[in-house]
């Protein structure tokens, strides 16, 4: 009995020491990483409705004009070089991309602190910060505010879905392996189509959840496209370098590009070019009139 008690107390001591080291690592990483966000961002977004200012990285496409826009949400590590590289890569495709810091100054490469960041971040605060981002985008001359979508990875995938449920101005939503909402009554509030990309070997998001998400969208009548990449783990789309050098990551990225092109790049010129004006009162003519009345001739 005494031996068992010593072993039990010893295990408790080891567990306590490991927990102490865990909290110590989070504390130290917080101290040494205070200036990381400043080095990663190039834009300060004024807060609206009492929210604090938002730091963000902005990547602009070449040329002049009013561009379709994507709000890109980082993983649970926070805003980092990986997300910045993806923002730059997407901007090369003709999108104005903004990647905001949704952890209000916190970013890390340590999993324990990443988990802590998610646990201590309220979705209502994230929505408030993204409202500030959206308001800022509406004021930018090189942003077409009628064609703003949102895309996120992991934690950011979940945030993207929830923000589209919060903001009816989102024209498209991309969820990369983010935990899902499955209630059709909730999903019915989504303002635009949804693309979901998941890994078939993702231990954190089982296929049953993905299937429930797809069924919920179907029941809610939300246009959607759900793809599962067989054998791929969680967070398999790593960075611009990974996308450019790995065929599976490139395939997933190209699927997103096709979805965004179909839902954000449509404009009046493209509609007009696709119409048969010699046909008597073609159906497309009425489609064009409705589109122009709703969104203007962008």
Write phi, then psi, for 285 (nearest 5 degrees). -60, -40
Q: Active-site residue among 88, 142, 234, 246?
A: 234
For residue 160, with 0-12 CB atoms within 10 Å meaning exposed, 13-18 middle and 19 or more buried, which class applies? buried
CA distances from 150 to 35, 178, 287, 298 (A): 27, 13, 25, 20
Q: Token digits for 257?
A: 């590009």
To the query of whether residue 154 is one of the catalytic residues in this protein, the response is: yes
- Beta bridge mates, 227: 197
Catalytic hit among 29, 74, 202, 224: 202
One of 29, 74, 144, 154 is an active-site residue; which one?
Answer: 154
234 is catalytic: yes
In angstroms, the CA 131 to CA 103 distance is: 15
Give me the residues paired with residue 172 across strands. Answer: 149
Q: How many residues does the chain have?
A: 298
Q: Is 166 a catalytic residue?
A: no
101, 140 contact by CB (below 8 A): no
Q: How far apart are CA 261 and CA 94, in angstroms?
A: 10
Indicate which residues carry an active-site annotation: 154, 202, 234
């Amino acid at each position: 009995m005494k031996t068992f008690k010593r072993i039990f107390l010893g295990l408790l001591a080891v567990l306590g020491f490991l927990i102490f080291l865990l909290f110590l690592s989070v504390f130290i990483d917080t101290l040494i990483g205070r200036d990381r966000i400043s080095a990663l961002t190039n834009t300060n977004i004024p807060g609206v409705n009492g929210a604090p200012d938002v730091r963000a990285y902005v990547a602009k496409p070449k040329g002049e004009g009013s561009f379709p826009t994507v709000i890109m949400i980082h993983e649970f590590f926070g805003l980092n070089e990986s997300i910045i590289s993806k923002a730059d890569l997407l901007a090369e495709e003709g999108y104005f991309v903004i990647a905001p810091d949704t952890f209000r100054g916190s970013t890390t490469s340590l999993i324990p602190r990443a988990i802590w960041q998610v646990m201590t971040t309220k979705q209502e605060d994230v929505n408030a910060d993204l409202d500030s981002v959206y308001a800022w985008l509406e004021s930018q001359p090189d942003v077409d505010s009628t064609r703003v979508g949102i895309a996120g990875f992991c934690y950011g995938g979940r945030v993207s879905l929830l923000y589209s449920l919060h903001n009816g101005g989102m024209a498209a939503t991309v969820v990369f392996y983010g935990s899902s909402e499955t209630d059709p009554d909730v999903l019915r509030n989504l303002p635009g189509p949804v693309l979901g990309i998941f890994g078939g070997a993702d231990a954190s998001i089982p296929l049953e959840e993905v299937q429930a998400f797809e069924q919920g969208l179907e029941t809610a009548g939300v246009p959607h496209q759900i793809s599962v990449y067989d054998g791929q783990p969680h967070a398999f789309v790593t960075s611009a370098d990974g996308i450019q050098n790995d065929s599976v990551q490139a395939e997933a990225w190209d699927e997103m590009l096709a979805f965004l092109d179909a839902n954000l790049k449509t404009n009046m010129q493209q509609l007009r070019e696709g119409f048969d004006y010699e046909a008597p009162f073609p159906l497309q003519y009425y489609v064009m009139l409705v589109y122009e009345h709703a969104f203007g001739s962008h």
